[in-house]
Amino acid sequence: MNEKLDSYLHKGRRRQLINYLREKVGVRDAGVLEAMNTVPRHLFIESVFDEWAYEDRAFPILSDQTISHPSTVAEQTSLLELSPKEKVLEIGTGCGYQTAILVAMGADVYTIERIKNLYEFSITLLKQLNYQPKKSIYGDGFLGDNSESPFDKIIVTCGASEIPKILFDQLKIGGIIVIPMGKGKEQKLYRFRKLDAKQYTKEEFGTYAFVPMLGNIT
């Protein structure tokens, strides 16, 4: 990558972030930490925020959306228990940062974004950075991608009131879906593991703030 785009200063700040995630947040997944140490987060946000890109902060992006805290990205990704070449459906591409982390970890990523300018922004940037997913979809995340199902893992990067049945149906038996759920400004982060067509296990992992999951495309 061009040194002007990803300088030694940026790389040093990324290493500091990784140390923070490991020592203060408690992230233990080596694959997640390695990917987050590789992907240049500052390129996914406006340049005015460049100095703070590797602090554990969320930032505004296009269309009144946000890029999540690095600790949130690390937690959600760790909960997927991801192995290389697994087929992952991502609901909510956003600016593409979470997508890039999944691709950097060797996943085959299928990602959906409902906001047209974010969809176009992420496609362009991910191609430039060589973190292209297997498939990028401009559409309704509630519908998933039945043409490519079933998926090993599903990650939802927006807050839902409940787990969408269509997404659960597109998950393999034994697969995992990580999703924030709640009706207010804050949600609980959950991990569901599919046991069969109707049954699952459910684990809760703290309180987070995500933008709401919406069905219409814009």
Q: Is 7 one of the annotated active-site residues of the chain?
A: no
Of 68, 71, 122, 136, which residue is the catalytic one? 68
> Closest by alpha carbon to 91, among 24, 35, 149, 40?
149
- Residues carrying an active site annotation: 68
